[in-house]
Structure 1
Amino acid sequence: MESLWKLMYLLEPTSLTLIVTAVFVTFASASRALDHGKEMERNLDFSEASITLDRSQALMIPLASSCSLLIMFYLFASVSHLVTAFTAVASTSALFFCLSPYVTLLKTQLCLTDPLVSRCCFKSFTRSQGILLLVCVGTVAGWLVSGHWLLNNLLGICICVAFVSHVRLPNIKICSLLLVCLFVYDIFWVFFSERFFGANVMVSVATQKASNPVHRVAESLSLPGLQLITKKLELPVKLVFPRNLLGGIVPGQDSIDYMMLGLGDMAIPGMLLALVLCFDHRKNKESSQDLISRGHKYVWYALSGYGVGLVAALAAGILSQSPQPALLYLVPSTLGPVVFLSWSRRELKELWEGSESKSNVKAHPMEV
């Protein structure tokens, strides 16, 4: 009975906000990936801006992530400034990528002229893009100075959306391979890393803060006011929400007062959602029937499964009072419904091999 009362923590504002935000970001990442794919089809210049994973790359991601974890675990103090600088550049680029469609839409609706300012890297650079770049740089600078959790979450969300849009999965076969490998990866580094390395590597890396390069500059220039403002940073590789949202608006609280969710726990399921959303979009274009006759879309089953898996992960963490590998719950709850539903609809083979194999099969009779 006491355990059931503990689950009431899931109804707290912080828990509900975390769940709603994660579900929204995962679906938004998949939707942006679909739109980005359409942009690449219309403009061949964008073709190099997207990476489609193959089997070897899918296998390398868990290995590369493990090496990165160990580097951050043992050498974080030495590479902290480098990591912060790289994160700042990546955050600026991701924020620019996420806001560009809205700037274009606003410019079109208001019929604003957008003269060409210059050309950079063989691509045009307009005035609106220059203004947007300044806004993005200012936002990242505000995060560097204040370290506020809201700016941290904003940049983390943009990084997640940009990653899902640029790193794509060709079919469920590669997706399943990647998810299963990361499933094992997450379980090992959360549950078993302490036996080999003397500490929980995943938790240690997730909770450590990076030194602020702005603080170092302020210290070298003897600016005591800026030194007091600039604190160590929570890197935007996770969402953080104060357990007391009203009392947590003021930055600088200890990380133990926050609920956290890694970007990988949104980006990896987001890649699956992007895959099935593109599949739904292609099937709707090919089919002459309406959506009701075809039944529900795969993306809604995957998204519902993501929400269920996230709630299960949070509930397990509350009941066990220990960190939980979120992918332990998210992989079965998202991949399972998609595979079962496609099998029941006799579309598993098509989804398993992807659209490329189908287009190749159709091309053979034309060649003959």
Structure 2
Amino acid sequence: MEPLWKLTYLLEPASVTLILTAVAVTFASALRALNYGKEMERNRDFSEASITLDRSQALMIPLASSCSLLLMFYLFASVSHLVTAFTAIASASSLFFCLTPYATYVKSQFGLVDPFVSRCCSKSFTRMQGILLLVSVGIVCAWLVSGHWILNNLLGISICIAFVSHVRLPNIKICSLLLVCLFVYDIFWVFFSERFFGANVMVSVATQQASNPVHTVANSLSLPGLQLITKKLELPVKLVFPRNLMGGMVPGSNAVEFMMLGLGDMAIPGMLLALVLCFDHRKSRDALSPMDASFSKGHKYIWFALAGYAIGLVTALAAGILTHSPQPALLYLVPSTLGPVIFISWTKKELLELWEGPGPNSSDKAHLMEV
């Protein structure tokens, strides 16, 4: 156990930036999920409706994640090029999804004309979308060439936001099942996997760097500028911040060391935040009187969940500093986010409503009739 004064390392620029970024990304993911749902409902575009998890899918996620973790642990060197290519495609599509609302806002504010260019997969493709696609692909290409940590974080953030927007939880019952399963999953693979597999599987996979296929191709073709292309890549499945960010550094650490936070430690709590944010929005929309609306506006579950996330994240980082060992972040994040939501909803006598989720509304019934 390290002395308590070492908790001052949490004030290092890298630590503060990591905490603020994670909290902002988690909230932004929930907000984008809410706006995306309203956009789909407004446009009645059910062809791109998000996936709502049921009980069996919630149980399968930890099992599928465990299989993927073992696959990456044993075969990462063999499949790293394939994983990098798949990640690049996912990053480009996620970045396109995240930039689209800003492009739409700019277009509406300045009254820009956005003519249709073509139709792809029964959907209209406009000039603005073409520009966004080129920008997204360009950023991914810049990441493939440079491997810079800022571009890595940008792509990782876009993947997290897109995931939370498209994969939803219907109620607290399914949410609790998923979070408890992932709570056990994270603890096992961080604390106990070494007993069974001879190494800490989670840490080994999280710290692996992928071979850069762009460098491999350029090297085989003897292309000029090979020295400018990075050989290894940090995949955008985690946020990374150099410990010497803005000159700050933990004593004894290497200048190239990074602080890391997995995307799952933002995306999974982000799904809970998206659920309670949609609940808050629905309660405010359905308020019968101005007094009810003002009451619900001052007691939104999103703020309790977001504050709990920040506290859980700081606790996880503090535990890592004090124990000088990797910590499963969900060990702290699940109780600190799910606990306040369940307790506050119980005191407000809204737990049953949150537990079972909303009944089908008119738009859902119309969609079912169309199907």
What TM-score do the two structures reach when normalised by structure 2? 0.93
Deviation at 1:74, TM superposition (A): 0.1
Output the amino acid matched with 1:307.
A
Following superposition, the deviation at residue 44 of structure 1 comes to 2.5
Is 1:308 matched with 2:311?
yes
Measured after TM superposition, the shift of residue 46 of structure 1 is 3.9
Separation in structure 2 between the aligned mates of residue 179 and residue 203 of structure 1, nearest angstrom: 20
Sort the Cα spacing of 1:93 and 1:298 in 2 relative to 1 into closer, same or farther, 3 A.
same
Q: Distance in 2 between matches of 1:190 and 1:115?
A: 52
Name the CA distance, whole Å, in 1 between partners of 2:41 and 2:360: 18
1:218 matched residue in structure 2: 218
Superposition deviation, residue 293 in structure 1: 2.6
Report the counterpart of residue 354 of structure 2 in structure 1: 351
Q: For residue 166 of structure 2, what is the aligned residue in structure 1?
A: 166
Cα separation, 1, equivalents of 2:62 and 2:256: 27
Structure-1 separation of matches of 2:255 and 2:120: 41
1:43 Cα deviation after fit: 1.9
Aligned counterparts of 1:190 and 1:2: Cα–Cα separation in 2: 20
CA-CA distance at 1:323 after TM superposition = 0.1
Structure 2 CA distance, aligned partners of 1:348 and 1:165? 24
- Give the match for residue 91 of structure 1: 91
- Count of residue pairs the alignment pairs up: 358
Distance in 2 between residues matched to 1:224 and 1:181, nearest whole Å = 50
- 1:325 is the counterpart of 2:335: no
Q: In the TM superposition, what is the alpha-carbon distance from 1:3 to its structure 2 partner?
A: 1.9
5+ residue gaps in structure 2?
366-371
Whether 1:69 aligns to 2:69 is yes
Q: Supply the distance in 1 between the matched residues of 2:294 and 2:126 (Cα, whole angstroms).
A: 44
Q: 1:293 is matched with which residue: 295, 316, 319?
A: 295
1:326 aligned partner, one-letter code? A
1:254 shift after superposition: 8.0
Preserved CA contact (<8 Å) 2:280 2:301: yes
Maintained 8 Å contact 2:2/2:322? no
Q: Which amino acid aligns with 1:81?
A: H
Alpha-carbon spacing, 1:255–1:124, altered in 2? closer, same or farther (3 Å): farther
The aligned counterpart of 1:366 is none
Residue 255 of structure 1, CA deviation: 9.7
Q: Distance in 1 between matches of 2:192 and 2:2?
A: 28
Residue equivalent to 1:189: 189
Amino acid at match of 1:289: P
Unaligned 5+ runs, structure 1? 363-368
CA offsets 1:326-367 (integer angstroms, 9 cap, x no match): 0000000000000000000000000000002688xx9xxxxx
User: Residues 168 and 117 (structure 1 numbering): CA distance in 2 closer, same or farther, change over 3 Å?
Assistant: same
What residue in structure 2 maps to residue 274 of structure 1? 274
Name the counterpart of 1:234: 234
Amino acid at match of 2:219: E
SS at match of 1:239: strand
State the percentage of identical aligned residues.
80
Shift of 1:227: 4.2
Q: Say if 2:264 is the partner of 1:264.
A: yes
Q: Post-superposition shift, 1:229?
A: 2.6
TM-score (norm 1): 0.93
> Structure 1 residue 32 and structure 2 residue 32: aligned?
yes
SS of corresponding position for 2:270: helix
Superposed displacement of residue 221, structure 1: 1.2
CA deviation string 1:184-221 (max 9, x = no partner): 00000000000000000000000000000110111111
Aligned alpha-carbon RMSD (Å): 2.1
